[in-house]
Amino acid sequence: MSAEPSSLPTPTPTPSPAPRFGVWFVGARGSVATTAITGSAAVAAGLHPPTGMVTETPDFAACGLPPLSSLVFGGHDTVDCPLPKRAEHLAAGGVLPHGLPSAVHAELAAADAEIRPGGPLPGDTDGGPARTDDDWIAVFTADIRDFVDRQGLAGAVVVNVASTEPAPADGSLPPSSLYAAAALRAGCPYVNFTPSTGLHHPRLAKLAESSGLPYAGRDGKTGQTLLRSVLGPMFLQRALAVRAWSGTNLLGGGDGAALADPAAAAAKNAGKERVLADTLGAAPEGEVHIDDVPALGDWKTAWDHIAFDGFLGSRMILQTIWQGCDSALAAPLVLDLARLTLRARQKGLSGPLTDLGFYFKDPVGDGPSALAEQYVRLRHFAGRLSTAPDASGAPR
Ligand SMILES: NC(=O)c1ccc[n+]([C@@H]2O[C@H](COP(=O)([O-])OP(=O)(O)OC[C@H]3O[C@@H](n4cnc5c(N)ncnc54)[C@H](O)[C@@H]3O)[C@@H](O)[C@H]2O)c1
């Protein structure tokens, strides 16, 4: 029996599966990465509101950002404590809500299965010849490409949240730069949430320029420096003369331990001091210190002491005390940056994403240093990502 073609039922088109995007963390088993992976799963499942995620506010609704439920996590780390266990440790320390690690155990286990050994560490040669920089870059690139292929991802971003490393003394590529090179070789945008060198190495300048990929950094602005980027402009705009600005940070956790190394702390403090020099016009007297206090775990106390002159030389002091949970401050920003950078790649943007200075202590490019101006630039950026050009509220 033959039927007229017109009488055939119209086949229902099978909806193509929603694209999924990779977030590849360097330092995937650290506090910040574990909190970001746990938090993404919790918010996607509706277990917690997205508090602290700027990209979940109405200004970003028209950006076409990948939803949290579309993110697939993986990464490199040099330790092998499984992510679900790491999350339990964070819950025991009060960083994550009690019970959350077991509620999102499946997502943590899935991300853990996508973590590959990082490096280089002393003894990594296993008695064989030492790997060259190119060998390391090739291994890391292959790991990232395998992740993208195996998971069938529409794209991936590499985000550095590994321990802060000292600035390299010679011309060699530090680990963060090996990973940054691998990210670009694998065709992925790159975000450096740490003060480590990453793409800021002269030997990577050509690769960064020719890659056609967007990148952003350095060093997430989550506490003391966030406050400085608000208060610095206030003193300047009120014509109050800042005489000295001193700061002390007490923190524990892995970050506290890493920053006990004076060379690593120097990399961190340079970013904190840059914000003051940029917002006040000149660096005031005073220093920043970081003390490792293991008992504090991931909780940080940052104290700032600001001596300033008022009318007719009247001497005054402002003191601020910031008590924050470092990973809870950083994780939502890391998720924001991953989504914004993935979208920037999708929109064909390349080179340094100067408009993301809102998120960083030491931003790439020559953007403003005051938080309010940086927020205006971020909204403008959101407009560039949007399919509706006027939806951003960008200045015209
Ligand atoms: N939490 C914040 O508020 C904040 C703000 C700005 C920047 N940061 C930066 O984020 C980074 C992570 O902070 P954290 O608190 O998660 O630290 P953490 O010590 O808990 O985690 C760092 C992880 O990096 C891993 N690692 C070290 N060397 C590595 C290598 N060569 N390759 C792969 N992995 C490696 C470690 O094993 C560890 O799991 C630090 O550099 C910190 O300075 C944090």
Kindly report, residue by residue over 99-144, the tens digit of the pLDDT. Answer: 999 999 999 999 999 999 998 876 665 556 788 999 999 999 999 9
Asked whether 243 and 220 are in contact (CB, 8 A), the reply is no
Whole-number Å distance, alpha carbon 331 to ligand 1 midpoint, is: 12
Whole-number Å distance, alpha carbon 272 to ligand 1 midpoint, is: 18
3-state helix, strand, coil in the chain (%, to 5): 45, 20, 40
Say what percent of the chain tops pLDDT 90.
77
Whether the pLDDT of residue 331 is over 70: the answer is: yes
* Mutate-to-test residue for ligand 1 from 32, 115, 229, 250, highest number of ligand atoms within 8 A of CB: 32
Tell whether omega for the bond before 17 is within 30 degrees of 0, i.e. cis.
Answer: no
Closest among 17, 25, 191 to 111, alpha carbons compared = 25
Residue whose CA lies nearest to ligand 1 atom number 11: 161
Say what percent of the chain tops pLDDT 70.
93
| HSE (side-chain half, CA atoms, 13 Å) at 191 | 27
Residue whose CA lies nearest to ligand 1 atom number 25: 27
Instruction: Delineate the domains of the chain, giving CATH numbers in brackets.
Output: 21-220+329-385 (3.40.50.720), 224-325 (3.30.360.10)
Confidence band for 1, pLDDT divided at 50, 70 and 90: very low
Beta 241-251 vs 299-309: how paired, if at all?
A: antiparallel
H or E element at residue 244: strand 241-251
Q: How many CB atoms within 10 Å of residue 56?
A: 18
| Average pLDDT across the chain, whole number | 91
Closest among 356, 328, 329 to 342, alpha carbons compared = 356
* Mutate-to-test residue for ligand 1 from 163, 218, 300, 322, highest number of ligand atoms within 8 A of CB: 163
What is the SS3 assignment for 145? Answer: helix
**120 CA: nearest ligand 1 atom:** 31
Whether the pLDDT of residue 245 is over 90: the answer is: yes
Kindly report, residue by residue over 363-395, the tens digit of the pLDDT. Answer: 998 899 999 999 999 999 999 998 764 444 443
Residues near ligand 1 with C-beta < 6 Å?
26-27, 29-32, 76-79, 118-119, 161-164, 175, 193-194, 219-220, 222, 253-255, 258, 326-327, 329-330
Whether the pLDDT of residue 155 is over 90: the answer is: yes
Task: Give pLDDT, residue 257.
Answer: 84
Task: Give pLDDT, residue 340.
Answer: 98
Strands across the sheet containing 315-325: 288-292, 241-251, 299-309, 315-325
Residue whose CA lies nearest to ligand 1 atom number 19: 254
Task: Give pLDDT, residue 357.
Answer: 97
Whole-number Å distance, alpha carbon 7 to ligand 1 midpoint, is: 63
Task: Give pLDDT, residue 41.
Answer: 98
Kindly report, residue by residue over 255-281, the tens digit of the pLDDT. Answer: 888 878 888 788 777 777 788 888 898
Task: Give pLDDT, residue 210.
Answer: 96
Whole-angstrom CA distances from 361 to 77, 210, 342, 394 are 24, 26, 21, 23
Task: Give pLDDT, residue 114.
Answer: 98
The pTM (predicted TM-score) of the whole model is 0.92
Whether the pLDDT of residue 167 is over 90: the answer is: no
Lowest average pLDDT, out of 59-73, 122-136, 299-313, goes to 122-136
Asked whether 131 and 120 are in contact (CB, 8 A), the reply is yes
Tokens of 49: 């509101």
The single-letter DSSP state of residue 190 is E
Task: Give pLDDT, residue 126.
Answer: 55
Residues 214-236 have a mean pLDDT of 95
**Sign of the four-CA dihedral 175, 177, 180, 181:** negative
Kindly report, residue by residue over 69-85, the tens digit of the pLDDT. Answer: 999 999 999 999 999 99
Confidence band for 303, pLDDT divided at 50, 70 and 90: very high
Lowest average pLDDT, out of 172-176, 249-253, 321-325, 387-391, goes to 387-391
Task: Give pLDDT, residue 392.
Answer: 42
Whether the pLDDT of residue 59 is over 60: the answer is: yes
Cβ density class 38-55: b for 16+ within 10 Å, e for less: bbbbbbbeeeeebebbbb
Whether the pLDDT of residue 18 is over 80: the answer is: yes
Confidence band for 172, pLDDT divided at 50, 70 and 90: confident
